[in-house]
Amino acid sequence: MNKNTIDDYKKAVKAKYEEAKTRKFSEFLLKPSPAELKNLCLLLFDLGISKLDQEILDRFFELNDKSSKQKQIENFDVDKLKPISNFLRGKTEATRIVNLDFIAVLVDFNPRPYRKFILRNNEKLTEKLTEVIAINEIVNKEGRIEVEDKKEIVIFEQFKKKSVAKKLAFAVIPLFVFGAAGYGVKNIFFRDKNCMVWVKNHYEAVEYDKVKDTAEVCPFNQGLLDNFKKISVCDTTTFFKNGAIDNPLVWYGKSPNKKEYEYFNQPGLHPETGKTLKPITKYIIEKHILKK
């Protein structure tokens, strides 16, 4: 079963919050009202933040360079911090990746943002893969099994080199196989159709050797293959679960030519541009869907 890295990130950030709320900034985090979260953000801004954290805050608060960023945060509508407060208080389970990155700054969770968390996880998977190869080599020397040709491992390495930021978001290898030293590496990690390509509105499994020179490929991910789809939307589409705007059922992003929005049934990265998809909002619905 593939790990859901978004859920892993959410759980890790929430666990760090539980630790941080009794420490240095407990007066802000113990009862994380929208106002207290805003005040903590301003305090961190005063203390000095890294360039990467500044990018996270720029994205969350939608800051620009036309005026003082601190002043823009001070004037930010505090009600827009309610989803953060509700998530930390346990009133909601789901929240946006941009919100999780923002919380990660407040509680000093590392690695942040989400894209770095994915890279760290993939590095660990690579280490585990190396361990399995080594174990299989030892077993083979002792004459117990035949080791599969390691040329398949080249596929994994090439995935890492091609569009790394985009591809690694999908590169999840089943963890339960790491202890299975009695099987060949190829049988553990690779299928006949060992990667995926995006076709119109969904992913399709393909053989890497047949498409590597003709298409952008992604590592095999059963969850994406089965569930991730581009969808059509209209005025009768259900955009929010139970009508709650903090529980979106649709995510959107700009098309490769940036001339129109495209809509998807799950969060993640746009399969053609690699940009993070955004949860649907009432503004987008009214301006770009209902008006059509």
Question: What tens digit of pLDDT does each residue of 10-63 get?
Answer: 999 999 999 998 888 888 999 999 999 999 999 998 888 899 999 999 999 999
Percent of the chain whose predicted confidence (pLDDT) is above 90 = 41
Confidence class of residue 286 from pLDDT cuts 50, 70 and 90? Answer: very high
pLDDT value for 8: 87
Q: Concatenated DSSP letters for the chain?
A: ----HHHHHHHHHHHHHHHHTTSTTHHHHSS--HHHHHHHHHHHHHH---HHHHHHHHHHHT--SSS-HHHHHHTS-GGGGHHHHHHHTTS-S---HHHHHHHHHHHT-SS-SHHHHHHHHHHHHHHHHHHHHHHHHHHHHTTSSPPPPTHHHHHHHHHHHSSHHHHHTT----GGGTT-TTS-HHHHH--SS-EEEEETTEEEEE-HHHHTTTS--EE--HHHHHH-BEE---TT---BGGG-TTSBS-EEEE-TTSSSEEEESS-SB-TTT-PBPEE--HHHIIIIIIT-
The yes-or-no verdict on residue 198 having pLDDT over 50 is: yes
